Amino acid sequence: MEIVDLTAEHENSYFRCLEDWSGEMVEAGDHKARWYHTMCDRGLRVKLALDDQGAPIGMIQYLPIEHSMALGSDLYMIMCIWVHGHKKGVGNRQGHGTGKALLAAAERDTMELGAKGLAAWGLVFPVWMKARWFKRHGYLTVDRQGMRSLVWKPFTEDAVPPRWIERGPTPPRVEGKVTVTAFVNGWCPAQNLVYERAKKAAAEFGNDVVFEIHDTTEQAAMIKCGEVDCVYLDGKPLQKGPPPSYEAIHKKMAKRVARLHR
């Protein structure tokens, strides 16, 4: 295994979270590619783990915290770390130290860049991006928001811990309409997939559905909206786990539209 910086050779694989075989990743559109090209000019760093055949099997992406969903200074924020865990493609490569190697590489890199610490987010229940995994590698919890923990590892004594951007109020509904409110950042293909499916489903119902889009690429927009990446249907999040299918989203909208005409 080798840890390398992302190059043009593997960009498309990175945009699809190393799941080149996945039709869902195609369905998620080009949001991540556009986010990547914007954030590269703002300090985004991406490293890949390559196997002995040169195939990407893991990735980590991190950027100055001022462009993330957390508040802080002189820190970098890990947006995600992922080791391929599916049977398809390159197969399941988890459980062999790849994530640990990627994290160590990111820590060395950010130290060399002069950062005072490295932050990350993790879920408190044992699924993807586990908070406890970071804790095993020396990270401390400094803030929590629902099921998300904000963790960090300070590199210097004068480092100041980060905090979450405060969550905003539930998006308002438009009277007499089914209201879909989308906050779109672009960094995560899973969130992009929910957005694209919701947009497609909403178009099926014409004027009965209002589809509102908020671009949260800039941190100022995240602070204003109190949200980063989420799609709401009449004030309730569409995604509470894996991305729901187009059919599931369409069915939920259809029920809401039917209520309008009772």
DSSP string, the chain: -EEEE--GGGHHHHHTTT-TT-HHHHHTTTHHHHHHHHHHTTT-EEEEEE-TTS-EEEEEEEEEGGGSSEE-SSEEEEEEEEE---SSTT---TTSSHHHHHHHHHHHHHHHTT-SEEEEEEESSSSSSBHHHHHHTT-EEEEEETTEEEEEEESSTT----EEPPP-PPPPPPTTSEEEEEEE--S-HHHHHHHHHHHHHHHTTGGGEEEEEEE--SHHHHHHHT-SSEEEETTEES-SSSPPPHHHHHHHHHHHHHHHT-
Residue 240 has pLDDT above 80, yes or no: no
Show Cβ contacts of residue 159 under 8 Å, excluding neighbours closer than 6 positions: 74, 75, 116, 117
Mean pLDDT in residue range 116-121: 98
CATH 3.40.30.10, domain 178-260, yes or no: yes
CB 180 within 8 A of CB 254: no
Q: Note the pLDDT of residue 125.
A: 81
Mean pLDDT in residue range 91-116: 95
Mean pLDDT in residue range 152-180: 96
Residue 255 has pLDDT above 90, yes or no: yes
Mean pLDDT in residue range 72-85: 96
CA 126/CA 14 separation, integer angstroms: 24
Q: Where are the domains of the chain?
A: 2-164, 178-260
Determine the topology of domain 2-164 in CATH: Aminopeptidase (3.40.630)
- Confidence band (pLDDT; 50, 70, 90) for 89? confident
